Chains A and B, each alone.
Chain A
């Protein structure tokens, strides 16, 4: 995330004296694009915790794997001569493919590794997913090094496959402020993701099962709903969404596919999920907006020299978490009882 700050130089102009419409637009766009990223990273985590009460520590690593997998598709299918439409098409194909693949992976993980632990105290599921993080991170490092890439830095080749009109160097003028196309793209994707998940939860029968099971899994079972299968489906989909978020990050210079991406996305995801209220999707969306805007605002504050502390955005985000937990632990939209088996 510190890299994120540095890379955002062009987006935040001026000093305190120059707070004009352009600055506002700039900070707004920056904040909203960050919110979009946070919501995509955190959505899967919330779904899983809401229904199953499992805090999936491997969430960040799965996003990282999705980023590399998506990056691979992008690098292989896009050449320097590819047109903008081709690139977008490949991108969306990658998102769908990674989503499908990681959903399958998630379902397999749930059935083989998580399920045996349901009768044990919840601690063990957290431990298991933590162990998976170690395995995934190191495995990715192995593969990446084998192919000659630098594991700790972003996969530049993948970042470079995005079309010209989305490149960070190509900023559009909106109300006097430079707005990066990629930010708008991210905002659109964020909205689409939220709408898709929301629609799934509120308008489909399975979504109804999940919402009921999130509140009272036992009662849902007594009504004939196969909660165990719902667990598998939700775990799979949660992981799939995490992976899809990774594909998007592969195009973002501030993030990019790298092995540390796992840790870099896990912590903000936790922050968002907890501030929003463990297990509520609406809360996650609200919290992502809050945290995204706080991050964007603090980035501006640092970039414009008002406060000269490079870690300001990160610090504020974590402080928000701590304050929220003290003042309102159930989160912005939290319900008192969460999850269950």
Chain B
């Protein structure tokens, strides 16, 4: 694997996302104090921890929305540290953020269309989204600002679907939603996980364990534990300690 290969396309078997010792600051606030993690093709990885430990910041660091001061971020083997966010996004990273971040004055249809990166196939991609989420087809001309939280979450996930993304960075998808809606959201996430890897930040611990194959546990801006999700419950001593229930 030569350096030029790496720069151009990256190795085939490189992890989709590889963060190495990221130190990220908000101003003078040292939020990430050396975070290292990776996500491979096809897997769903959960990132859990208490409020404020730096989970969202980790996602933002991956996308270079808040680039790390030191450390590297590699997408598909290519070093993207410090690159403009839109370039990182077109490399196959999608973002389904906390608070959904709808373009409220735009319709559902427009929100989906704007997320399509393959500009030659906008209509086709949009159809794909409506097939995966039939409810959205009925809502297509409604301004997203007028939708319920659950409906907005569907739109956000649909945006992730149509963007030719290999890896989706999902932040607190179940936040503020009623239990039945959460189930619908989980189903939607399972659907998209068929075609894309996922790094999932989720406070709802059972949901996270259910959706993910592996998980990282974060505390104080660092990863303190990683394991498979097989058989892990919120009663486990380590989980109790770091999630503070």
Could you say which residues of chain B place their CB within 8 Å of the CB of A218? 65, 85, 101
Q: A224-B86, A224-B163 are in contact. Are A219 and B119 (CB under 8 A)?
A: no
Contacting pair A209 B105 (CB below 8 A)? no
A110 proximal to B (CB < 8 A): no
Across the interface, name the chain B residue whose C-beta is closest to A222.
B95
Tell me the complex Cα distance, A218–B97, Å. 11
Best-surrounded residue of A211, A219, A223, A225 (most CB of chain B within 10 A) = A223
How many Å from the CB of A264 to the closest CB on chain B? Answer: 33
Contacting pair A219 B101 (CB below 8 A)? yes
Tell me the complex Cα distance, A332–B33, Å. 47
Contacting pair A226 B86 (CB below 8 A)? yes
Could you say which residues of chain A place their CB within 8 Å of the CB of B127? none
Contacting pair A225 B84 (CB below 8 A)? no
The stretch of B41-49, B107-115, B197-205, B220-228 in contact with A is: B107-115
Across the interface, name the chain B residue whose C-beta is closest to A216.
B101
B74 proximal to A (CB < 8 A): no
Tell me the complex Cα distance, A113–B149, Å. 41
* A203-221 interface bits toward B, Cβ cutoff 8 Å, 1 = contact, 0 = none: 0010011011001101111
**8 A Cβ contacts from B89-105 to A:** 89-90, 94-95, 97, 101, 103-105
Contacting pair B84 A220 (CB below 8 A)? no
B217 proximal to A (CB < 8 A): no
Contacting pair B85 A221 (CB below 8 A)? yes
Contacting pair B65 A225 (CB below 8 A)? no
**8 A Cβ contacts from A19-55 to B:** none
Tell me the complex Cα distance, A227–B89, Å. 12
Tell me the complex Cα distance, A138–B43, Å. 64
Contacting pair A216 B103 (CB below 8 A)? yes
Could you say which residues of chain B place their CB within 8 Å of the CB of A212? 103, 106, 110-111, 114
Could you say which residues of chain B place their CB within 8 Å of the CB of A226? 84, 86
Tell me the complex Cα distance, A34–B84, Å. 43
Total A residues in contact with B, Cβ cutoff 8 Å: 19
B117 proximal to A (CB < 8 A): yes
A228 proximal to B (CB < 8 A): yes
Contacting pair B86 A221 (CB below 8 A)? yes
B125 proximal to A (CB < 8 A): no
Among B104, B114, B159, point to the contact of A208 (Cβ < 8 A).
B114
Q: A212-B114, A227-B86 are in contact. Are A222 and B105 (CB under 8 A)?
A: no
A2 proximal to B (CB < 8 A): no
Could you say which residues of chain A place their CB within 8 Å of the CB of B105? 211, 215, 335
How many Å from the CB of B120 to the closest CB on chain A? Answer: 11
How many Å from the CB of B229 to the closest CB on chain A? Answer: 27
B63 proximal to A (CB < 8 A): yes
Tell me the complex Cα distance, A297–B115, Å. 47
Could you say which residues of chain B place their CB within 8 Å of the CB of A227? 86
Could you say which residues of chain A place their CB within 8 Å of the CB of B111? 212
Contacting pair B104 A222 (CB below 8 A)? no
Tell me the complex Cα distance, A278–B220, Å. 41
Among B104, B122, B163, point to the contact of A223 (Cβ < 8 A).
B163
Across the interface, name the chain B residue whose C-beta is closest to A205.
B119
How many Å from the CB of A339 to the closest CB on chain B? Answer: 14
Tell me the complex Cα distance, A208–B159, Å. 15
Could you say which residues of chain B place their CB within 8 Å of the CB of A221? 65, 84-86, 89
How many Å from the CB of B121 to the closest CB on chain A? Answer: 13
Across the interface, name the chain A residue whose C-beta is closest to B95.
A222
Tell me the complex Cα distance, A227–B87, Å. 11
Contacting pair A211 B103 (CB below 8 A)? yes
Could you say which residues of chain A place their CB within 8 Å of the CB of B119? 205
Contacting pair A219 B97 (CB below 8 A)? yes
Which residues of A approach B to under 8 Å, CB–CB? 205, 208-209, 211-212, 215-216, 218-228, 335
Q: A221-B89, A226-B84 are in contact. List 19 more A-B contacts (CB 8 A).
A: A205-B122, A208-B106, A209-B114, A212-B103, A212-B106, A212-B111, A212-B114, A215-B103, A215-B104, A215-B105, A216-B101, A216-B103, A219-B95, A219-B101, A220-B103, A222-B65, A223-B115, A335-B104, A335-B105
- List the 7 shortest-distance A-B pairs measured between CB atoms, nearest first: A224-B89, A222-B95, A219-B101, A221-B85, A224-B90, A212-B103, A224-B117
